[in-house]
Amino acid sequence: MKKAADVIIIGGGINGCAAAYYLAKRGVKDVIVLEAAKSIGHGGSSRNGGGVRQSGRDPRELPYAMYAVKHMWPTLSEELGVDVEYCQAGNLRLGKTEAHLEKLNRLAQNARNAGVDVRMIDAKEVKEINPYLSDEIIGASWCPTDGHANPMLTTLAYYKRAVELGVSFVKDAPVKAIQKVKGKARKVITADGTVFEGETMILAAGYESREIARTVGIDIPMTRYFEEALVTEMQPPMFDQMLGTADADFYGHQAKHGSFVFGSECGLEEAADMPLTDTRTSSLTMSAGCRAIMGYIPALKDAKIVRSWGGWLDMCIDEVPVISPVEEVPGLILACAFTGHGFGTAPSVGLMLSQMVVGEETVVDISALRYNRFKADR
Amino acid sequence: MKRYDLIVIGAGPAGLSAAIEAAKCGMKPVVFDENAKPGGQLFKQIHKFFGSKEHRAKIRGFKIGDDLLKEAEEYGVEVVLNATVIGLYPEKEVTVKIGDEVKHFKGDAILAATGASENMVTFKGWTKPGVIGAGAAQTMMNLHHVMPGQRVLMLGTGNVGLVVSYQLLQAGCEVAALVDAAPRVGGYGVHASKVSRCGVPFYLSHTIMEAEGDEYVTGVTIAEVDDKFQFIPGTEKHFDVDTICVAVGLSPMSQLLAQAGCKMLDTPGGYIPECDEFGQTSIDGIFAAGDVSSIEEASSAMIEGRIAGVSIAAAAGYLTEEERKEQCGALESALGSLRKGMFAPENRGKILKETEEGIEISTNLLAKGYVAEDEITRYPGFVKKAGVHPVMECTQNIPCNPCQDACPKGCITIGENITSLPVVDVEKDCIGCGMCVASCSGQAIFLIDEEYEEGYASVTMPYEFLPLPEKGDTGTALDRSGKEVCLAEVVSVKSAKAFDHTNLLTIKVPKDMADKARFFQR
Amino acid sequence: MISVDDKLKEIGKYIPQPDDDMLVCRCEEVTKGEIRQAVHAGMFTIEEIRRFLRCGMGLCQGQTCGKLVKGIVARELKVSPAELEPAVSRAPMRPMEMEILGRDGGDK
Amino acid sequence: MGRIAEHPILGKAPEKDTVTFIFDGKEMEGKEGEPIAAALKAAGVMVHRYTKKKHEPRGIFCAIGRCTDCVMIVDGQPNVRTCITPLKEGMKVQTQYGVTAKEEGKGAGL
């Protein structure tokens, strides 16, 4: 097994796999990706709603979210040789109250300021776009260039292509520590004591990144949060838009094969304290989720749920990720704390990580996501 | 949240037995089952069970089911039907779909007795309508009174394949062949023999090449396989059938336990929870019993269930440790005796050469489904004497002994060891009552009278088909392989309540056919 | 620790077999050949295989094909099926209408 | 295939009311409360649905609600497991194509 490389990527999720792929694509093929689980993309990368959106995002994220939608997603299936089921059919963010609309309007304004086409529409127009939605919806924000894709396929497609290009992956290799050699991050030590060495390392291990970063004296202010989702049986094609709400009590879409995937919550998630490896769903969420879904799409009441799943989010204190080299630890690049919305931006994040490794300027400016932004604010 | 001291999931033999034992100790268990009827697979089992009295031997499965339900009612066990458990959570909470809503219940103890599901094999055309599980055939014919097909090929010669083949014949279907990729019959020899003598050919070391038909099955081609299970060209055989039944084993349905986070073991017998001797999984208070913890016969599942019920009651303080030990001890010895013999768990996969008595095992039985004429004479149940007497074609050590109690004259002995082959005492006088014939769950006992008439012998056989022949009917006698051997005349048909639907059919055949004729065909 | 490089080298190249077109997952209509090819693309776990191909993700949730898929993957990886973790079990155990699930009677 | 009027062990089939249902537009008879699949089997219907990807026919397979191969459109509702759904008078049962009925897909009771 290869144990030394130019680049060590800690975390075989979508960001780690995408970074590996873009590195290999540009010729940096001496790369090792270490994945803690036996399966690639076993964390949030396989456990998310598949949204590829710009609307509703923090202004600091918009440039690279837009870059991915404009320049990367449309050709990704072709590029990776796997249909990642990208569907650019718009995002409806639904509101049922005036307060909802106010919030949506604010987010829409943010997006427009950054140049994204997001506008507020009334109930009538909502129904024209999606006739299945509830009459209780009084308005929505509408971003026609948003969409969705299949997160499991996208992650595994990046992985498959990176393998084909010569990247070395090691699964079942949970990293315990990073060690500096002569002032520079150099060694990566796994739970069983195996030492991997690299010139540069990318830490993209979700919430687990926090413990690993601490071993070189870096603390990323993030918490973890458990979220669940429901999957329905295959349904006839109904609509293509990605749906969300002002309340964030519900999001989802119909996947290409016909199943609907909906995020769902029961309201007790804040208290979830299981180990990170425990992704079992709770006894309450499925029912709560179904009620929320039917509240927005009553027509789905007879659709059957075939599966529920859960996963952990790495929630940053300021709700946007940390994507940057760390000055105090030369050789270390952080890519974590995606706060539950890292899937849609993974192509551009992966690309920019590859640029950071070779010291190239990133395609868009993401200096607002630097690690050194965290300061006492009172 | 409503809390029970015991929630049992699955009202099959294990689940009901556990709930009954727990209730006997003063607990108030509830049993949830997703089906409209309780009893699990028991109500599809129309054959007589093996074992001894304590295992309810020679009683048909569905009657045991009836009795179990009565017992459950007697002890006040609450059985909720059409109640699908959709989730099992670590805090011993279950979510159950009852009617049109979901309910949550907690139990101080939970017992998963969720049973097993059928394994499958792939072959060309295996998804075509007409390819069904053997369990599906049983469900259709024995529960819903609908024939699964007109002409059926059975894949698999384990007990399920053998028993279901016989049941298909009883339902009026034709069984074209029994096929198994293994070189030996997997199930009890007596089950194989009763199918074989009806004229169903066995093809061992054969498997299905293709299920044919455009919209649904209209035929099947099988072929011989070598010891690496590869088809041998030129050995193809075609059968016109409308149904292919697949009976290639069962797997524990342990998904609920896995969901709850119980430590699971991946064994050759399936994905099972790791359990202690009382059936408790790695999660305190969550138990498993029956097929979900290891695939066995229903008789074992019932005892396992009782052990779990007693253990749960003891853990909850309804029994002292001494009482538990006493009750479990008796149950464990009953379970132990069922796990003896050639088909015992420790003998799985082994090729045995001789019986416990040191008698060479019939190779013909394993290769073709019936004991050859020159082999049968070496077993202690095969005797010759003047006048009517039993001939017992029981050649394997299986845990079963009702025959020795059935004979009012003490002609038959099995002895202390329940798996011993029956011995016929020629000194004792057989009165030809036929109780032994009807008592044999393997339908392996015949009454022979070689001096029935000048030049003729009579052969009395168990007969469980319709229409029942009548005295005076003439037809053909078939030998153990199902081959026609001579003309035969029905001289007596006896039915009695004590026989429990096993009719005693006596035919008259030429004297030299006394050791050959084993079935009657009109 | 599983080195994907080493394992791919060990199992060799994907070689087509005559029965590669055999359906294995009846619900999602996934063939043996698709499963075998996925293994050679680096999908070594049942989870990866099903995320990539959807086998076991359909209406029956792998109740029929689970063991079959495991057997094929194990053979391709040259390991015993027991070495492969089965797919995770998740509620609901049976497909269930949203309207019914939503009508959560709690403990009443 | 036919029904088993009298069985050597189970005796006569229990008396049940005959009900009429519609299968793909044709009137058919079955027994009240028996699984839809049993009524279809007794009437000789083998194909319950055609699959979505490969358009292959499927019918009864496990008969106990596990495998979901026997699903059909029942009273407008797709993916109904016919082997465990009791037959009722006047039910409308349709062959399922993918997840819809043949008449162009309106789908999930919409």
pLDDT band for B429, please (50, 70, 90 cuts): very high
Question: Which range has the top average pLDDT, B276-285, C37-46, C58-67?
Answer: C37-46
Q: How far is C78 from chain B (nearest CA, A)?
A: 16
Neighbours of chain A (3+ CB pairs under 8 A): B, C, D
User: In whole numbers, what is the pLDDT of chain A averaged over residues?
Assistant: 95
Residue D27 maps to a domain: yes
The position carrying tokens 């319950």 is: D48
Q: Which domains does chain A have, with CATH numbers?
A: 4-48+152-221+318-374 (3.50.50.60), 89-144+223-316 (3.30.9.10)
From D100's Cα to the closest Cα of chain A, the distance in A is 7
Test A283 with B261 for CB contact under 8 angstroms. Answer: no
Q: In this structure, is residue D43 part of a structural domain?
A: yes
B&D contacts, CB < 8 Å: 102
Model pLDDT, residue B434: 95
Contact yes or no for B147 and D4 at CB 8 A:
yes
> C66-77 vs C4-11: helix axis angle to the nearest 10?
90
- Reported confidence tier of residue A219, pLDDT bands at 50, 70, 90: very high
Tell me whether strands B6-9 and B29-32 are parallel, antiparallel or unpaired: parallel
- Give yes or no for B408 touching A (CB within 8 A): no
**How far apart are alpha carbons D68 and B25 in whole angstroms?**
40
Say whether residue B103 is in contact with chain A using an 8 A CB cutoff. no
Size of interface C-D (CB pairs under 8 A): 32
**B86, C91: Cβ pair inside 8 Å?**
yes
Contact B102 A278 (CB under 8 A): no
For B146-161, what is the mean pLDDT? 98
Helix (H, G, I), strand (E, B) or coil at C68: helix
Q: What is the length of chain B?
A: 522
Query: Is D44 within the bounds of a domain?
Result: yes
Q: Across the interface, which of D51, D52, D66 has its CB nearest the CB of C60?
A: D66
Whether D36 is in a domain gets the answer yes
Which residue on chain B is closest to C83 by alpha carbon? B266
CB < 8 Å to C103, chain A: 287
pLDDT score for A76: 98
Residue of B nearest to D42 (CA): B146
pLDDT band at D106 (very low <50, low <70, confident <90, very high): very low
Judged by phi (left if over 0) then psi (alpha if -120 to 50, else beta), residue B270 lies in left
Query: What is the rounded CA–CA span in Å between residue A340 and residue D24?
Result: 47
Task: Using the predicted structure, report yes or no on whether residue B482 has a pLDDT greater than 50.
Answer: yes
Bridge partner residues of B286 (DSSP): B110
Per-residue pLDDT for C70 more than 80? yes
Name the strand (E) or helix (H) holding B89: strand B83-89
Q: Give CA angle at A55 (A51, A58), nearest 5°.
A: 105
Cβ-based contacts of A278 with chain B (< 8 Å): 261
Rg over alpha carbons for chain C, rounded to the nearest Å, is 17
Per-residue model confidence as pLDDT tens digits over A18-73? 999 999 999 999 999 999 999 999 999 999 999 999 998 999 999 999 999 999 99
Judged by CB atoms closer than 8 Å, whether chains meet at A282 and B89 is answered as yes
DSSP string over B245-279: EE---EEE--HHHHHHT--EEEETTEEEE---TTS
Q: Are A188 and A175 in contact (CB under 8 A)?
A: yes
Contact D99 A132 (CB under 8 A): no
Instruction: Report yes or no: C64 at the D interface, CB cutoff 8 Å.
Output: yes
Asked if D51 reaches chain A (Cβ–Cβ under 8 Å), the answer is no
When pLDDT is averaged across residues B123-142 and rounded to a whole number, the result is 97
- The answer on pLDDT for D86 being more than 50 is yes
Would you state the pLDDT for residue C107? 52
Residue ranges of D 12-41 with Cβ closer than 8 A to chain B: 13-14, 34-35, 38, 41
Per residue in B204-242, pLDDT tens? 999 999 999 999 999 999 999 999 999 999 999 999 999
A129–C contact, CB cutoff 8 A = no
pLDDT at D1: 66
Q: What is the pLDDT of residues A255-300, one digit of tens each?
A: 999 999 999 888 888 889 999 999 999 999 999 999 999 999 999 9
- Nearest residue on chain A to D52, judged by CA atoms? A257
Phi, psi of A74 (to 5 degrees): -60, -25
**B120-144 mean pLDDT:** 97
A124 burial (CB, 10 Å; 0-12 / 13-18 / 19+) is exposed
pLDDT of residue D109: 36
Nearest Cβ partner of B104 from A280, A281, A283?
A283
pLDDT in tens, A118-142: 999 999 999 999 999 999 999 999 9
CA A348 from centre of chain: 12
- Tell me if B313 sits within 8 A of B20, measured CB to CB: no
- Residue B463, pLDDT score: 98
> What CA–CA distance (Å, rounded) separates B424 from B411?
6
pLDDT number for residue A376: 83
Domain at D95, CATH number: 3.10.20.440
Residue appearing with tokens 């796999």? A17
The reply to whether D38 falls in a domain is yes
Q: D60–B132: do the CB atoms touch at under 8 Å? A: yes
Give pLDDT, residue D71. 97
- C63 closest CB neighbour out of D67, D71, D79: D67
The residue of chain D with its CA nearest to that of B152 is D1
Answer whether B199's CB lies under 8 Å from B407's CB: no
The number of domains in chain D is 1
Q: Where would I find the beta strands (DSSP E) of chain A?
A: 4-10, 31-34, 51-52, 91-95, 119-122, 139-143, 147-148, 168-171, 175-181, 184-190, 195-203, 222-232, 242-245, 251-254, 260-264, 304-316, 322-325, 332-336
Pick among A283, A287, A301 to test the B interface (most B CBs inside 10 A): A283
Candidates D93, B247, B32; CA nearest to D81 is D93
What is the structure's pLDDT at C105?
66
| Domain interval for residue D42 | 15-101
The verdict on a CB contact (< 8 Å) between C107 and B101 is no
Contact in structure between B262 and B286 (CB atoms under 8 Å):
yes
Domain membership of residue D75 (yes or no) is: yes
Instruction: Look at residue A270 in the predicted model and tell me its pLDDT.
Output: 87
CB contact under 8 A, B466 and D6: yes
Q: Residue D87 falls within a domain, yes or no?
A: yes
C13 at interface of A, judged by CB pairs closer than 8 A = no
Number of H helices, E strands in chain A: 9, 18
Per cent of chain A over pLDDT 70 is 100
Residue D10 domain flag: no
Whether pLDDT at A233 is above 80: yes
- Nearest 5°: the CA angle A198, A200, A202 is 110
Q: Kindly list the residues from chain C whose CB atom is less than 8 angstroms away from the CB atom of residue B85.
A: 93
| Closest Cβ–Cβ partner in D56, D65, D68 for C27 | D68
Question: Best mutation site among B89, B100, B255, B262 for testing chain A: the one with the most A CBs within 10 Å?
Answer: B89
Which tokens belong to B415?
């002895």
Query: Which region among A241-250, C30-39, C81-90 has the lowest average model confidence (pLDDT)?
Result: A241-250
